């Protein structure tokens, strides 16, 4: 019996000596006390202690095994939770990236009307991040707030509201609110998208203005022609003096209508090709003198001298020669027409770099009030309508200039001082010569002048 206990004890000692020591101390102490008081013999006490120790050890091993299994299961759960957390975080990040990539402003509203998410377009529109704030901090329009209340309360599944937003430039927006089903604790939610229709509204208004302006521009000369024709066919049929008086006016009005139609057709062709920049080259130092000569007779009538200052070393630009001639013909013609009598009109190439060449038309007219300058390139816009019509202007010249410059990927800007004159400047992309480019790249920076 003692040998069996020793074998069991020895086998267990080999498996886990620490557990053996921890269990042997209380078991040995208990049986030693029984043997000391004479309740059992020493041999029986030793064998009992060994068997008690063995049972306790086996029970401890079983408990430890179960605890290890529980710990392993907890570790697996923790790992699974970590993986799920990472997956959800990546999913949320991907959702945020997707929403931020949308070009239209988008807001997600909680049931309490607070903003749960706002994409980058909203931040760009408002200038601040409205997340966690009430909708009123982002949009204060009462119709938007009423529509949001209807959707969030369940009265409506979708609402659409058109409204305007004040600012440096008034914006016209369409807000669409739709219910966003959610099983999360946030309850009923809604998504609000904003669509900027300012350009569409402006286009519609421009079309309406265009039709109205064309009708107005044609109505006056047509009425004049019809009236004179009726007069010549009636009371003045055989009146030579009336004929000599009316025919020049009829010719002038007819020419004015022909010029208007020609400008409209020209503007239409330019706009049709505005998206495709020209691929050919042109030299302004060759174009400007030719244009100036074509306007000499008109300039002489007012005693205006047109002076061209074009550096022959100026580089070529990417440009349609015919359209660039039209640009400077319009600008020089306006400078002569609205400049003072016995004054000068200077046409100069101001300078250039590796990207752009700048040319300007400078007059000595009365100048343009600052509030009119931003609108000068609008169709039919005139600073002095009566004076412009009296001079035969169609109101389309600068609009044509603007669209041609846009097609050439250039820039037009206007400077003016009342009582001094105006300066119309144009920058156009320069054609870089391959040989010049290679020479510049190979030049030693230390010796470059």
CATH number at residue 224: 1.10.287.130
Q: Does 229 have pLDDT greater than 80?
A: yes
Which of 250, 272, 294 represents a domain boundary (last residue)?
272
Whether residue 97 is contained in a domain is answered as no
Bridge-based pairing state of the strands 344-352 and 356-362: antiparallel
Q: Does 449 have pLDDT greater than 60?
A: no
Write the CB contacts of 397 (distance below 8 Å, at least 6 apart in sequence).
Answer: 263, 330, 333, 334
Whether residue 144 is contained in a domain is answered as yes
Number of domains composing the chain? 4
Q: Does 306 have pLDDT greater than 90?
A: yes
| Rounded alpha-carbon distances, angstroms, from residue 145 to 123, 149, 180 | 19, 6, 17
Alpha-carbon gap, residue 39 to 48, rounded angstroms: 13
- Same domain, yes or no, for 325 and 374? yes
- If one counts every other C-beta atom within 10 angstroms of the C-beta of residue 153, the result is 10
Whether residue 6 is contained in a domain is answered as yes
- Same domain, yes or no, for 188 and 207? no
pLDDT digits (tens, 9 = 90+) for 350-360: 999 989 999 99
Cα dihedral 293/299/305/307 (nearest 10): -40
| Rounded alpha-carbon distances, angstroms, from residue 326 to 164, 266, 287, 329 | 39, 10, 10, 5
- Same domain, yes or no, for 293 and 358? yes
- Same domain, yes or no, for 343 and 249? no
- Confidence category of residue 346, pLDDT binned at 50, 70, 90: very high
- Same domain, yes or no, for 175 and 209? no
Give the domain extent around 235.
202-272
Burial class (CB in 10 A: 0-12, 13-18, 19+), 424: buried
Beta strands in 181-264 (DSSP E): 189-196
Across 402-419, average pLDDT: 92
pLDDT digits (tens, 9 = 90+) for 19-71: 555 555 565 666 566 556 555 566 665 666 666 666 666 766 777 788 878 87
Which of 61, 78, 95 represents a domain boundary (last residue)?
78
Q: Does 272 have pLDDT greater than 90?
A: no
For 218, the enclosing helix (H) or strand (E) is helix 198-233
- Same domain, yes or no, for 260 and 327? no
Greater model confidence, 165 or 366? 366
Which of 63, 78, 93 represents a domain boundary (last residue)?
78
- Same domain, yes or no, for 304 and 226? no
- Same domain, yes or no, for 285 and 425? yes
pLDDT digits (tens, 9 = 90+) for 311-333: 899 999 999 999 999 999 999 99
Residues 412, 402 contacting (CB under 8 angstroms) = yes
Q: Which of 129-143, 284-298, 394-408 ranks highest by mean pLDDT? A: 284-298
Q: Does 434 have pLDDT greater than 50?
A: no
CATH at residue 164: 3.30.450.20
């Amino acid at each position: 019996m003692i040998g069996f206990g020793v074998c069991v004890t020895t086998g267990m000692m080999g498996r886990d000596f620490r557990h053996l020591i921890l269990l042997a101390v209380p078991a040995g102490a208990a049986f030693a006390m029984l043997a000391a008081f004479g309740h059992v013999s020493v041999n029986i006490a030793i064998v009992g202690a060994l068997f008690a120790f063995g049972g306790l050890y086996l029970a401890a091993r079983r408990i430890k095994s179960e605890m290890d299994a529980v710990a392993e299961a907890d570790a697996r759960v923790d790992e699974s939770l970590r993986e799920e957390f990472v997956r959800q975080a990546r999913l949320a990040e991907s959702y945020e990236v997707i929403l931020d990539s949308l070009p239209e402003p988008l807001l997600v509203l909680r049931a309490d009307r607070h903003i749960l998410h706002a994409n980058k377009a909203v931040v760009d529109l408002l200038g601040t991040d409205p997340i966690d704030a009430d909708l009123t901090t982002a949009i204060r329009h009462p119709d938007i707030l009423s529509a949001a209340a209807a959707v969030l309360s369940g009265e409506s599944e979708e609402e659409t509201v058109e409204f305007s937003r004040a600012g440096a430039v008034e914006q016209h927006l369409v807000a669409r609110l739709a219910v966003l089903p959610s099983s999360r604790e946030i309850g009923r939610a809604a998504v609000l998208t904003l669509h900027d229709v300012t350009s569409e509204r402006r286009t519609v208004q421009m079309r309406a203005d265009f039709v109205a302006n064309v009708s107005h521009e044609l109505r006056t000369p047509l009425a004049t022609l019809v009236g004179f024709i009726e007069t010549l066919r009636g009371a003045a049929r055989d009146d030579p003096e009336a004929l000599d008086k009316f025919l020049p006016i009829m010719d002038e009005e007819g020419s004015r209508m022909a010029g208007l139609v020609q400008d409209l057709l020209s503007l239409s062709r330019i706009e049709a090709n505005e998206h495709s920049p020209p691929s050919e080259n042109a030299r302004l130092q060759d174009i400007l003198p030719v244009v100036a000569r074509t306007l000499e007779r008109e300039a002489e009538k007012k005693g205006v001298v047109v002076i061209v200052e074009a550096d022959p070393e100026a580089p070529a630009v990417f440009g349609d020669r015919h359209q660039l001639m039209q640009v400077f013909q319009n600008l020089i013609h306006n400078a002569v027409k609205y400049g003072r009598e016995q004054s000068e009109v200077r046409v100069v190439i101001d300078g250039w770099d590796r990207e752009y060449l700048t040319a300007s038309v400078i007059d000595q007219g009365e100048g343009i009030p600052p509030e009119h300058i931003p609108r000068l390139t609008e169709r039919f816009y005139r600073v002095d309508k009566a004076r412009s019509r009296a001079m035969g202007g169609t109101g389309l010249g600068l609009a044509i200039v603007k669209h041609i410059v846009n097609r050439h990927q250039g820039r037009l800007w206007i400077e003016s001082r009342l009582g001094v004159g105006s300066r119309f400047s144009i920058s156009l992309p320069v054609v870089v010569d391959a040989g010049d480019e290679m020479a510049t790249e190979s030049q030693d920076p230390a010796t470059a002048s």
